Amino acid sequence: MTDPSSWYGVGQGRLRHDTMWGVMRARLPLRLARAAVFTVVCVGLAVLGHRLAGGSGPHYWAVMAGWAGVTIGATLLAGRERSPRTIVGFLVGAQIFLHELFGAAGGAGSPAGLHVSHGEGLGAALGMIIAHLTVTLITGWWLAQGESALWSMLRRAGGRALRGLSRLLALLGAGAAPLPPATGRPPRRILAERAREALRHTVSRRGPPLPVA
């Protein structure tokens, strides 16, 4: 019989372990799906921030390399439910990695801040960093809320599936209850009929004894 908890990408043993200790581990399909969502959001945010910084879009090979790196890291972390702190921290670290990668690729162009004074350029760069960090923190919080909602749904669905399977197995076990073992003795009604038949053919010898010849 197929493990019902596998419908949700979670092993039955892991799901029972979650019921006791609050820890669930995801199978590969669920890990890849969650890693893909994180990578799309993370790389998209980095590309958008790079363009808003005043340059052109990053080179395609830099985007592909960044995509691969973030996907690998997200897949490794997606083995179980992650806390908001872990998600936000990884997102911030990935943004720094992608920013450095895109900058090294040379696709930024000439930022507008280079045509102004040094002080104004530093102020504009600091403002962009603060804005990017703020958006990153908000995005990380949003991803953490989705992570919590997903695992909560999996716990409820997996718990209902296991309870339904337990009830079904209990019903099947009750329907297949063994019959009571035979004792080898005939029923009481048959014994009574046999006793009456025996008495019916018995000769009565009541009265005085017969004289001796």
DSSP 84-144: HHHHHHHHHHHHHHHHHHHHHHT-S---GGGGS-HHHHHHHHHHHHHHHHHHHHHHHHHHH
Name the one residue in this structure whose structure tokens are 């720094």.
96
Q: Quick one: CA dihedral 130, 67, 143, 54, positive or negative?
A: positive
- State the pLDDT confidence band at 55, using cuts at 50, 70 and 90: low
* Mean pLDDT to the nearest integer, 148-177: 77
Please tell me the predicted confidence (pLDDT) of residue 2: 46
Report field, pTM of the whole predicted structure over 0.75: no
In this predicted structure, which of 18-22, 57-61, 182-186 has the lowest mean pLDDT? 18-22
What's the pLDDT score for residue 143?
95
> Are the beta carbons of 102 and 132 closer than 8 angstroms?
no
pLDDT in tens, 27-43: 888 899 999 999 999 99
* Tokens (6 digits) for 65: 């390399």
Q: Name the average pLDDT for the chain.
A: 75
Amino acid of residue 64: M
Give the pLDDT band of residue 6 (cuts 50, 70, 90): very low
Q: Would you list the domain boundaries of the chain?
A: 29-163
The two three-digit tokens of residue 83, written as one number: 């806390």
**pLDDT value for 94:** 96
Query: Which 3 state secondary structure label does DSSP give 25?
Result: strand
**Average pLDDT of 202-212?**
58
pLDDT at 113 over 60: no
Instruction: Say yes or no to pLDDT of 89 above 90.
Output: yes
